[in-house]
Structure 1
């Protein structure tokens, strides 16, 4: 029997299993190392090699062959995977030496080394469970974190040395603190020197951070899990930096600003990026590893906030700085001090620097993300067809990943140094969905918002009005409307249930320039205005196909907040809502995200965007869904709104998910959650 779409989507982790990822290209340009599960329903990630000359793949590491069928992860690794939204298991990360001759990885907390030539794997003895192992560039030593201590093992002798040991239980060395991993995409806390004799190491002291407890009411015999959570307006972790030598030397690297954004250590020395607490000033500092003194290389300011762009700082072979900054209305690639891209091209990320060639992502059209190179001050497109593209580059070789609306799944191509392309060279093993999205991308409403419209496959235009389902994320820093087929698989399933589905990206979402993103400042409720604007715009284009007397809205995380906000403040437009893991009181969300957009709570911008005071306004059906193990948007958000609704005498429904985090990766939960939402919305709209 063929699996239903909800079951297949759950089994395939939203069709991400079997998709190649985590590419590393050898500096000679002859091999590509990558991660992939063996099939689209296999959750165990393996390590593979692709030989560019022969076009053949080779399995390097199969966790099942190493006896790692059931993973027993240390708590720190579980937290890392939650922060990175990693839903698969097995080898989910690895590190190589400079020449890509060997790699290290952790399985069930055990450290393993693989010779990439022979494929031989050996387990290395460690005194505790291993977190984030990284080979030094020379390939002779491996560093890792265990029990909050940073340790280094000599691969030739097996000597294992603690370089930095925590002074008390709230201190760790070499790991990223909560807000760095959750909001700044910094998943690491140490960086090797090119010669492998020293490391730049972050020390995190969580003791100033408020102590919360994540309980499991379904299992009252289990103690609540303590968590340091930096709620808006409260103290962050104290993060300090040191250059630590293998000889035991330690040099402090002082810096003034609140946040350590990222660091690099290349042939031109170490450098760090720091950000002020109000996120309006960002500094790039060089570091003298001998003395720890810093020198300012660049300072950027913005009256609203500065966005963190992945992949920078970077440097060309001669040390010229590669940066991304806002100028003349655009997010631009900066080489040295000169903008290399026009204001109309919005740079998304720098992916690699290969000698003097920079590979980067950028958008001309907000729904598309293309690949470009910059060399000698000249930019050139690598991809030109509509879609969403990523990639890596080294040794003159470029690996290109691509998704589009016309093609299914993710394709991976290799471009050789001579420009010849090996199309679909690295196979995707992802499952084929049981439906085909019928999506139209339009500009809708007075603000010409990027909007996707999906109708049932059986719907004939003008044959009858369908109930409407708005399905947004809608918040800053994330997009739902992209020219990629996979983005619209679940919306199409909803359409097949009899809805006209609308997905709209409002103000605050990326791809349309800094000014558009900053319109959300100090007022998240603008995102609701934009959903109404998009709905009205689509209705004007499809007047005979939409039943505006039956409009529902659903969403998760910020989308959940937006769904609850919609029925509380615009019941004239929205007739039912499903709010999954919603932020209901922004004082309960973390410092870095919330203060970026709303400022410090003392500035007075929180109440207007919070939901609790609106509880008495509810007169539409509302289903609140929340994982009780969620350590990002904690269940207190839903429970406090539910209490306020009860106090106001407003009927509503709460669906608690025992043992479920913010990701809802569990197969049965993910499948039935869709079906329960469908049942709720159909009953609420009288369908």
Structure 2
């Protein structure tokens, strides 16, 4: 389950605007910010490319001046081959799930100007250049192919691909959703072999979702979805050599082999690395495959007494084939350096903070480029750290949320930054963090919001019953009077490792929250136990009991706010989406004496209904931990509901199935509880399209105004 970011930029007709933040303004795009699309550094380290209206443009890092278009036309995305003599252009796409899509691609030779339509112009998935730039591998109809870019010959590597049965080189639904990517193959560095994962999902139970549309009889979406404790795809790894055109299965029997989340190439010509895992995801093997012989060497095993972040892997091979690895083994996420045989050389980063992103390694200076929480858990900064001396140099702003896109030689980077009070800015900096030029700001957006009396977040910490200080933010009315009593509206997500309280611009619900503040509410958000960036002890305390400590902390937070002189403790409400919807459902049942009203959007209401990879990572299986599943399901506590409750779900949600809300609704009905229920026909987990979002947010606003 990944966090849902709630976009509020759908176009509708614009009414006459007053000097306040209104739903009409939000959904007209009036406050829409500006960005830079498709930033990619070119190999020379002196230029970068971006997607613009007229094509893919080339800019100079040194002068920030445009030097023309690399390719003219309109494209959704692009990727270069290794020497940048060719470019793969996505012309048209059709989304499938969160990451996967069908695409029509062209390959353009930038030297000759020749353009080739990949796979004869038919749809493909996950196309990737061979490192030598002579071929492109891709998946079509669950089979793996490659196309020679000179002869144009297409070679089919696998023959057994079949929908809802066999998948070659491509993730199944649960792998894609929970391991975070769709591609499951990799070229060797010398382009003579491909290692891929085959998924046999024949025995995985099938989920079906009715699609209503404008048709006489509803159609069905059918796909394999393994729920907690059920069968997963049987995965296997395979080696295909181009010279022999033969495929051999790799023998993983002596290693962890239940999941194969990742496939990487190393710095050597004839090697591929597989990361494998047991079902419980608390032990992973890092395996090196010799692609000449098919032999396998285990480099090391990463283990944890709770779980490993199998969906958040950091692995980079350096020129000498030593490698950098990310791990939480010391209580925070840090980087470690291993030699080519998997022997530890040293821990690169240390401290009571975490590495939150890894950008690369500069071989000239022996420095890793990273994003960290060195300046506090609600801030993210960019630094360079010498892997031999440990010396750290701050490159970005010291506050806010800062990320970087580095040039190929690390002499420059484009910094994207924001704070809770300042929307996104894009600044070109040199390798030492000195500003070269501001490329884009959102001052106009900010001026519009300030003119409409926007208020900014106040950051505080509040205690829970375990003695922790929880990060929180608060939005107060502009004319806040501490002698008055205000109704309180709480927002949270609360999922494992997530973060909702950060010193960053809120491009999602932030405008809606301001709208509610202007209606007289105080809006707050609290990150309790289970959330991220405060160390593994705080994050992993929820193991085997998802929901227990999280809802205890939200209840404790509500009670704490209720004791403040300016809060009306009889008017406290809560809202959340997905995992946050699960928490809102628990709040209105387990916390019924504290919360007057709640809104749960697309909630999990019983972890037995959610997928294997995510749920079992934190809960183990229902067969092993039935108590953990049942004692933290709002369905089991439906009889406790007291306040006003609005339950919302999309009927075509492939992630958190509509079944969750239907079961919870039935439990409420059988306990004679009155509540409101809104179903969005044929809408997925994001609940959007056409006027859906404006209608949804108006409905939630009306519910709050009427019941809180």
> Considering the TM-score relative to the shorter chain, is it more than 0.5?
yes
Contact 1:557 1:581 in 2 (8 A): yes
1:388 pairs with 2:401:
yes
Contact 1:129 1:147 in 2 (8 A): no
- Which one of the candidate residues 629, 643, 654 is aligned to 1:631? 654
- Distance change in 2, residues 1:306/1:140 (3 Å): same
Q: What is the CA-CA distance between 1:304 and the residue it aligns to?
A: 0.9
CA distance in 1, matches of 2:230, 2:356: 31
Q: What is the CA-CA distance between 1:135 and the residue it aligns to?
A: 1.7
CA distance in 2, matches of 1:669, 1:47: 33
Match of 1:150 in 2: 144
Match of 1:78 in 2: none
- Which one of the candidate residues 64, 67, 80 is aligned to 1:55? 64
CA distance in 2, matches of 1:430, 1:521: 45
Instruction: Report the secondary structure of 1:593's partner residue.
Output: helix
Contact 1:165 1:173 in 2 (8 A): no
Q: What is the CA-CA distance between 1:527 and the residue it aligns to?
A: 0.8
CA distance in 1, matches of 2:30, 2:149: 36
CA distance in 2, matches of 1:126, 1:98: 23
Q: What is the CA-CA distance between 1:469 and the residue it aligns to?
A: 0.4
1:237 pairs with 2:245:
no
CA distance in 1, matches of 2:661, 2:495: 18
Match of 1:575 in 2: 596
- Which one of the candidate residues 332, 357, 367 is aligned to 1:357? 367
Instruction: Report the secondary structure of 1:569's partner residue.
Output: coil
1:29 pairs with 2:45:
yes
Q: How does 1:254-653 map to 2 (within 5 A)?
A: 254-255=251-252, 256-268=256-268, 269-308=271-310, 310=312, 312-336=314-338, 337=344, 338-355=346-363, 356-364=366-374, 365-377=376-388, 378=390, 379-393=392-406, 394-405=408-419, 408-417=422-431, 420-425=434-439, 434=449, 436-446=454-464, 447-457=468-478, 459-486=479-506, 488-523=510-545, 524-539=547-562, 543-602=564-623, 603-604=625-626, 605-653=628-676
Q: What is the CA-CA distance between 1:5 and the residue it aligns to?
A: 4.9
Residues 16-58 of structure 1 show CA distances to partners (whole Å, capped at 9, x for unaligned) of: 7x5335433222202223446x5xxxxxx97443322441345
1:126 pairs with 2:120:
yes
CA distance in 2, matches of 1:278, 1:51: 48
CA distance in 1, matches of 2:669, 2:178: 33
Q: Which moved more, 1:608-617 or 1:111-120?
A: 111-120
Match of 2:5 in 1: none
- Distance change in 2, residues 1:151/1:306 (3 Å): same
Runs of at least 5 residues in structure 2 that lack an aligned partner in the other structure: 1-13, 94-102, 339-343
Contact 1:25 1:31 in 2 (8 A): yes
- Distance change in 2, residues 1:14/1:267 (3 Å): farther
CA distance in 1, matches of 2:38, 2:276: 27
1:674 pairs with 2:707:
no
1:188 pairs with 2:198:
no
1:98 pairs with 2:107:
no
Match of 2:7 in 1: none
Q: What is the CA-CA distance between 1:120 and the residue it aligns to?
A: 7.8
Instruction: Give the TM-score normalised by structure 1.
Output: 0.88
Contact 1:451 1:534 in 2 (8 A): no
- Distance change in 2, residues 1:326/1:423 (3 Å): same
Contact 1:138 1:196 in 2 (8 A): yes
Contact 2:335 2:355 in 1 (8 A): yes
Q: What is the CA-CA distance between 1:407 and the residue it aligns to?
A: 5.5
Residues 407-427 of structure 1 show CA distances to partners (whole Å, capped at 9, x for unaligned) of: 633222333357643333367
CA distance in 2, matches of 1:571, 1:596: 29
Q: How does 1:181-260 map to 2 (within 5 A)?
A: 181-217=176-212, 219=215, 221-247=217-243, 248-255=245-252, 256-260=256-260
Q: What is the CA-CA distance between 1:544 and the residue it aligns to?
A: 3.1
CA distance in 2, matches of 1:166, 1:20: 42
Residues 573-613 of structure 1 show CA distances to partners (whole Å, capped at 9, x for unaligned) of: 10111100000111000011111111110122100111212
- Distance change in 2, residues 1:396/1:597 (3 Å): same
CA distance in 2, matches of 1:115, 1:492: 50
CA distance in 1, matches of 2:415, 2:605: 37
Contact 1:476 1:510 in 2 (8 A): yes
Contact 2:403 2:417 in 1 (8 A): no
CA distance in 2, matches of 1:383, 1:309: 27
Q: How does 1:101-116 map to 2 (within 5 A)?
A: 101-106=85-90, 107-108=92-93, 109-115=103-109
Instruction: Give the TM-score normalised by structure 2.
Output: 0.85
Instruction: Report the secondary structure of 2:520's partner residue.
Output: coil
What value does the CA root-mean-square deviation take over the aligned residues? 2.7
- Distance change in 2, residues 1:260/1:26 (3 Å): same
Contact 1:471 1:491 in 2 (8 A): no
CA distance in 2, matches of 1:208, 1:9: 46
Match of 1:81 in 2: none
Q: Which moved more, 1:427-436 or 1:576-585?
A: 427-436
Q: What is the CA-CA distance between 1:311 and the residue it aligns to?
A: 5.2
CA distance in 2, matches of 1:669, 1:391: 34
Contact 2:348 2:387 in 1 (8 A): no
- Distance change in 2, residues 1:511/1:681 (3 Å): same
| Aligned residue pair count | 648
Runs of at least 5 residues in structure 1 that lack an aligned partner in the other structure: 39-44, 67-89
CA distance in 2, matches of 1:242, 1:544: 65
- Distance change in 2, residues 1:22/1:266 (3 Å): farther
Instruction: Report the secondary structure of 1:251's partner residue.
Output: strand
Contact 2:143 2:161 in 1 (8 A): no
